[in-house]
Amino acid sequence: MPLLDAHYQHWDGAHVGIWARRWVIARHGMGSALRNRAMRNLVVVCWMAGLAMAAVLFLIGQLLVADSIVIQWVGQLNPSLQVFARLLTSWLQDHPEISVRTTQNLLFYLYCVYSMPLSIFALGLAMPSLITRDLDSNAMVIYASKAVTRGDYLLGKYCSAFGLLTLTWLGPVCGAWLAGNLLSPDWRFFWHSRAALGHALLYGLSSMAILSGLALGVSAVSRREKSTPFIWWTWWVLGWVIQPIALHTKPWLRHLSFSYDLKQIGLASFRLGDDLKTARENIPMLGEMLRNIPPSTSYALDHPNWGGALVALVLMLVLAAWIISQRVSPE
Amino acid sequence: MTSDPVIATEGLTKTFGRQRALDNVTLAISAGAIGLLGPNGAGKSTFMKCLLQLLPVTSGSARLLGREVGREGREIRKRVGYAPEQNCHIPGMAGCEYVAYCAQLSGLPFQAARQRAHEMLDFVGVGQERYRKVDTYSTGIKQRIKLAQAIVHDPELVFLDEPTNGLDPKGQAQILELVRGLWRTYGITVVLSSHLLNDVERVCEQIVIIARGRVLVHDTLQNLKARKRGAAEVVLARGHGELQEACGRLNWLCQMLPNGHLRIEHRADSLNALLNVLHELKLAPLEIIPSPNALEETFVQALEMSHAAA
């Protein structure tokens, strides 16, 4: 007796593949995270920063054109500045590869490192929609009774976290690179900036992969929606507090902070030391300014502790995987 | 039971620590409406969960729809539905989104999933509530939603674990009617797990009785009733006294039940003798229920034997 006088109908269509089903899980995870207004605002802020980067790249591109509006505008502000700008322009025209690569590399590094807190905060907001809520509502039973395995489920959730980080982190960098180079006066900018983009992709993808794994582990720690973001943010803040203290006591303790470890990986990926050296040796006037960098900073840039950071991050990922294996099951 | 079994197990065992939840279960069940009966904690749910790979099997093997459980999990679950006993849902979703999402997880493309979700929600009787969040549903609607998500991908076999739990009598009757129609009208094999004998008797044709992790009985309801022949329940509009007197003369035990029916133990394989008596008395029965409580008696008897063996 169908209650609304509706009849059951058989379905004989073709099933979609397993990757489509994994994508469904990933899309749902991202969708439920983006229902949070704060999360949407964060994404907007990150893309505004991306726009700002694109604007800076546009301005730098304009410096390479002798009679660009930027040079004229600088001249209207201060004629001596215009002389400096013209000097710089002529030098940049001689060394476009160095200027484009170095500025974009520096810019992308600054964005990646300084927008990391935003991405970590965003992951905290998304934490309940990763695994926590599913544990709370026994949704694991539903997933496990469908045509997906636990591995498919975890992969889908992992992609959710990765996708959110792409929106807040790597997306704006790639957007800025594309927009900045499209607006540049020369198509060769795309080629000259390949190293900067490569560094950003290397660092962004590896950091996002690590952060997504850690976030998944933390989101499986508890069934309570308020607990897992709290644990995540607390871990992050404690790590941040420990860093300066540990520097003068037990430096290895700094590796308990995943943000510190990621920063070390960032320094190693972007090879800022090399860029600064090149700038110091080749760029007139600016090179002189760069010689004033404190030796400790210069040493840190030249010798990032990426080995220790990598070991610490791998250990954290192993711990996260263990938590997931213990907590994420249908029963 | 001549067709290929939809469920076949061989020495299926599941232990939790030292406790054996399933003890060497060997079964071959053919398509139909199958009732999985047993007291609470008998191992019914564990049996279903092992078949669906929600729990790892300790030893033994199982095949569902001709495929090896454990090797072809995804393929099996594309063709199998499951409505669990406990409350399970994916939070933050409206009912129709939830059912469509479950369909997509089972491999339906987006458009088909959405269309079938609405069809199934109509079928199980969920109206405008489908646009509300699943978290806010009453028990009755949750049971219907569980049924809808279990059949949304058009499975060949569906496991229903206590689907009438927490429902009022009207809701129970509606859900049981839907479940009965799944096999009788639409050819979907149904495995109904319940500790409520009436539910199983109304819906199922095959009965599996489980207790202490062992299969005590596996037979058709018809055969079980045949084993308990010799009693009938007669519903009369008038003439209760006359029939009681006639039964007395024949040394048949006749008992008036609280619902006004007469329970008569005629001790014969067929109802012919009883029908003759009614004919002689010129009484027209409203209904004759042969072998009433056959399932209950079999159930109790099986449990007693199980306890005695333990």
Three-class secondary structure assignment of chain A: CCCCCCCCCCCCCCCCCHHHHHHHHHHHHHHHHHCCHHHHHHHHHHHHHHHHHHHHHHHHHHHCCCCCHHHHHHHHHCHHHHHHHHHHHHHHHHCHHHHHHHHHHHHHHHHHHHCHHHHHHHHHHHHHHHHHHHHHCCHHHHHHCCCCCHHHHHHHHHHHHHHHHHHHHHHHHHHHHHHHHHCCCCCHHHHHCHHHHHHHHHHHHHHHHHHHHHHHHHHCCCCCCCHHHHHHHHHHHHHHHHHHHHHHCCHHHHHHCHHHHHHHHHHHHHCHHHHHHHHHHHCCCHHHHHCCCCHHHHHHHHCCCHHHHHHHHHHHHHHHHHHHHHHCCCC
Ordered by start, the domain boundaries in chain B are 5-225, 229-292
So what's the pLDDT on residue B94? 93
Residues of B in Cβ contact (< 8 Å) with A32:
92
CA distance B244 to chain A (A): 38
- Greater model confidence, A243 or A127: A127
So what's the pLDDT on residue A5? 57
What percentage of residues in chain A have a pLDDT greater than 90? Answer: 51
Q: Is the pLDDT of residue A122 over 70?
A: yes
How many residues in chain A? 331
Stretch A217-224: mean pLDDT: 94
CB of B136 within 8 Å of a chain A CB? The answer is no
Structural tokens at position B282? 């010129």
- Greater model confidence, A89 or B171: B171
CB of A69 within 8 Å of a chain B CB? The answer is no
So what's the pLDDT on residue B267? 78
Q: How many CB pairs under 8 A join A and B?
A: 129
User: Which residue of A14, A146, A331 is in closest CB contact with B77?
Assistant: A146
Enumerate residues 143 to 162 of chain B having a beta carbon within 8 A of any beta carbon in chain A.
Answer: 149, 151, 153-154
Cα Rg of chain B (Å, integer): 22
Minimal-distance CA residue of chain A relative to B170: A3
Q: Is the pLDDT of residue A119 over 90?
A: yes
Q: Is the pLDDT of residue B1 over 70?
A: no
CB of A28 within 8 Å of a chain B CB? The answer is yes
Minimal-distance CA residue of chain B relative to A27: B101
Minimal-distance CA residue of chain B relative to A3: B125
- Greater model confidence, A260 or B226: A260
User: Which residue of A13, A141, A147 is in closest CB contact with B54?
Assistant: A141
Q: Is the pLDDT of residue A2 over 50?
A: no
CB of B182 within 8 Å of a chain A CB? The answer is yes
**Confidence at B310, pLDDT banded by 50, 70, 90:** low
Enumerate residues 48 to 77 of chain B having a beta carbon within 8 A of any beta carbon in chain A.
Answer: 49, 52-55, 73-75, 77
Q: Is the pLDDT of residue A289 over 70?
A: no
CB A327 within 8 A of CB A221: yes
**Any bridge partners for residue B61, and if so which?**
B10
User: Which residue of A7, A148, A330 is in closest CB contact with B74?
Assistant: A148
The answer to whether B73 contacts A149, with C-beta atoms less than 8 Å apart, is: yes
Q: Kindly indicate whether the domain formed by B229-292 is annotated with CATH number 1.10.760.
A: no
Which one-letter DSSP state was computed for residue B266?
-
Stretch B171-181: mean pLDDT: 89
SS3 B10: strand
- Number of DSSP helices (H) and strands (E) in chain B, helices first: 11, 14
Minimal-distance CA residue of chain A relative to B176: A1
So what's the pLDDT on residue B3? 66
- Greater model confidence, A189 or A172: A172
Stretch B274-286: mean pLDDT: 89
Beta strand pairing call for B206-211 and B214-220: antiparallel
For B5-225, the fitting CATH number among 2.40.50.140, 3.40.50.720, 3.40.50.410, 3.40.50.300 is: 3.40.50.300
Residues of A in Cβ contact (< 8 Å) with B183:
none
Stretch A27-43: mean pLDDT: 94
Q: Is the pLDDT of residue B249 over 70?
A: yes
Which residue, among B104, B160, B182, would best test binding to A if mutated, counting the most A CBs under 10 Å from its CB?
B104
pLDDT, one tens digit per residue, over B49-74 is 999 988 999 999 999 999 999 888 88
Which residue, among A5, A7, A8, would best test binding to B if mutated, counting the most B CBs under 10 Å from its CB?
A8
Which one-letter DSSP state was computed for residue B24?
E
Residues of B in Cβ contact (< 8 Å) with A330:
49, 54-55
User: What gap in Å lies between CA B305 and CA A67, rounded to an integer?
Assistant: 101
- Least confident among A148-162, B107-121, B284-298: B284-298
CB B159 within 8 A of CB B183: no
**Confidence at B265, pLDDT banded by 50, 70, 90:** confident
So what's the pLDDT on residue B251? 87
SS3 B21: strand
User: Which residue of A1, A7, A28 is in closest CB contact with B174?
Assistant: A1
pLDDT, one tens digit per residue, over B68-84 is 998 888 889 999 999 99
Structural tokens at position A64? 């390479």
Distance of CA A221 to the CA centre of its chain: 24
- Least confident among A252-266, B175-189, B228-242: B228-242
Residues of B in Cβ contact (< 8 Å) with A39:
none
**Confidence at A1, pLDDT banded by 50, 70, 90:** very low
